[in-house]
Amino acid sequence: MKEPYVNILVENEIGYIEFFHPEHNSLPGKLLSQLAQTITEAGNNEAIKVLVLKSAGDRTFCAGASFKELIAINDQATGKLFFSGFANVINAMRKCPKFIIGRVQGKTVGGGVGLASATDYCMATKYAAIKLSELNVGIGPFVVGPAVERKLGVSAMSQIAIDANTFYPADWAKEKGLFTQVFDSVEALDEAVKALAENLCKYNPEAMKEMKTMFWKGTENWDALLAERAAISGRLVLSTFTKETLKRFK
């Protein structure tokens, strides 16, 4: 079994950031920290003009937070730290001065939907169903909520957050604005991602930087907002309801 990793491959001025975890590309705290750092460093790398965020394998883009770490939380400080992992990645993506293209090849759950939502342009395969499952364990998509709401709107975000047992198909996510295009195969997705990234490299980096700032206007308070949301989740994860529910996953 492969070891978890985050790595970056720079090719033709494109930075391909890839993450992997053997448990359906779930993201424990260590990987989230590495991912946030890699995105920040790539944003400051003058050899890179465009970023692509992807995961390994062809079945699951991201299964969200690590349940092993979630189950082990026993105090609010640890809980806030745990949920701040996704907050840090989303904020790194938000502040990155370069466009980030999302490449979503398969199902994505919880925090994974947040990552897809925080990309600037996201493409997927028809297998990339999405689900916000947090309410199932007594929490809620508090940390990723602002990013998901920004892309899908309040109505669609609240629909999938409340209907926490249902996978919504890729075409639904495209209709709501999360995905720009949906492809029949991973091969077709990769071709389209590569073509878009290479084309963007021909444009003025300063113009793209200014456009990104414009697109993210109104999110300047997210450092504080997502920290507050992480604290809410850190408190709820200690509730009797959530602790009893998590016992089923042991």
Residue 114 has pLDDT above 70, yes or no: yes
Using one digit for the tens of pLDDT, what is the confidence trace for 18-42? 999 999 999 999 999 999 999 999 9
Residue 157 has pLDDT above 60, yes or no: yes
Q: Are 133 and 110 in contact (CB under 8 A)?
A: yes
Alpha helices in the chain (DSSP H): 29-43, 67-71, 76-95, 111-118, 145-162, 170-176, 186-200, 205-215, 222-236, 240-246
3-state secondary structure at position 234: helix
Range of lowest pLDDT (8-12, 77-81, 101-105):
77-81
The pLDDT score that the predictor gives to residue 159 is 98
Averaged pLDDT score across all residues of the chain: 96
Read off the tokens for 241. 């309801």
Greater confidence (184 vs 73) lies with 184
Read off the tokens for 130. 């999405």
Domains belonging to the chain, first-starting first, are 5-200 (3.90.226.10)
pLDDT band at 246 (very low <50, low <70, confident <90, very high): confident
